[in-house]
Chains A and B, each alone.
Chain A
């Protein structure tokens, strides 16, 4: 332990047993010469290495330019891959080699003497501090804010209201519109034909064989004002099961047709499209969080975080044999929200 006291030593107050009263500042570590300081040959070698790295960068740039002009991305996947690979390698070499060359230069060739620079004191001098306070005081007195009440009120109101010009449009446009009632209904109506997504061909009941799955949109979807918004709510999964496998609630007996059932494709958990249908187990999986619905049993949840069965679309067959909806869904589709059942 050194005997002289250094200003950066740490003095421990109220030291107990085993704790020294003063921690001395060890100071800057002992300087150790590098190979390049001691041997001119090592210095030469480091210089050559740095030169080589800069040379590599030059090669990278040249390689990039050559690849850019001679290896166009072309039309095939293989040519795109080759072009990407060569451009990327060239760019990487050009940039990365400059970086490590600069660092290597600084580390091995520039001087290695440790230096300490003290911070300047943060506190300003007493004169500056008094002057600043005096300036503020003079300004307040000059504006006579204490005496002119109306002026003060007007200023505060102006400052308080000004942020509204930014806040109102910003907050107002967050949700486009705040009408949550449209989540309660979809564009399915009595008699709307079920059509195949994406071609829009209407579906004949006879064409749906047992074990089939059809991804369904309303036939008149393209006539909607915002077809994508409507599609997001109205998509339906149509499945035909062997009627013997189908368990139906008493009040939903009339909602299916010869084993053909239609359920909303929007998960009741957070609204992903539920569409992984296992034909043999009649289970319908949601790809996002593995909620599993049993299509043979009212799309009840058999696994996963979803809380409600998928809403069923009541269907029937029209005079020409096409599948049509009996009505809209009888409950809001998709995930829960505050006003859902109000």
Chain B
């Protein structure tokens, strides 16, 4: 204590004190603060009120003051929290520009704000809710069954391994290997843009999780090596013709040339 007392007038003492105080405050906050809200938690009235303000500031120009829709944008009454979470958390909404398709970009709202927006829109009319972590956990799904379902329902647009593909007039099905499991679930549930709806009767929640498990397995890539865009014979054929035939022609020329 003597040593401590002797140094209390040291010029660094205030700094040490400040650091200590910060540490204590931070530690107390970590110990006492409520755990971060999960997707399944029920939104409070506060969330809805904040969400409404956010909505009026950022979304009402197109979707109408009461989300009833305008000429430019659809009504959001009854689309559910899942739809809002998908569109906002993938950055598709707010929309950047008119075009054939609304494209994904870095999200414009924080997670908390997205949750509040979703809570507000969900309060307008019943619709699909945001799935819980358990519902989208790839490790709990059956990838084999997921593959059968994916082949029947998804592969025609999103490619056999989920690499995405072209639709008509500049529209396209996005790459699923970069899409989060929650977003995949919500997209099936709500059918954003060109994508049709796969509700819980068409694909049960367990089947949706199987599909997510299958897509998750594709993220690791192909055991055969470089996927070349997973386009199949087109890119692989080009590679073989250019590189393989090039090597063969090179060898033939070298064998035929005289040694110097």
Contacts and interface: CB of A to CB of B under 8 A. Distances in A.
Nearest to B207: A199
A32 B259 CA distance: 10
Contact of B168 (A81, A215, A283): A283
A84 B157 contact: no
A279 B196 contact: yes
Nearest to B193: A280
Q: What bracket does the count of chain B residues touching chain A fall in?
A: 20 to 34
Interface in A217-240: 239
A94 B191 CA distance: 54
Contacts of A273: 156
Residue of A80, A276, A281 contacting most chain B CB atoms (<10 Å): A276
B197 A280 contact: no
Which 7 pairs across A and B sit closest by C-beta, in order of nearness? A207-B201, A80-B223, A213-B196, A77-B220, A107-B259, A278-B194, A275-B156
Contacts of B193: 279-280
Interface of A: 32, 34-36, 73, 76-78, 80-81, 84-85, 103, 107-108, 112, 196-199, 203-204, 207-215, 239, 273, 275-281, 283, 285, 287, 290, 292, 303
Nearest to A204: B201
Given A212-B198, A279-B193, A77 B259 contact: no
B225 A81 contact: yes
Interface in B151-194: 152-153, 156-157, 167-168, 171, 191, 193-194
B167 A213 contact: no
Given A73-B223, A209-B199, 17 more contacts: A32-B258, A34-B259, A34-B260, A76-B220, A78-B220, A81-B221, A84-B223, A107-B258, A203-B202, A208-B201, A211-B196, A213-B153, A214-B202, A215-B153, A239-B196, A279-B195, A287-B156
Nearest to A210: B197
Q: Which of A73, A78, A196, A283 has the most CB of B within 10 A?
A: A196
Interface in B209-247: 220-225
6 contacts: A32-B258, A77-B220, A80-B223, A203-B201, A212-B191, A212-B202
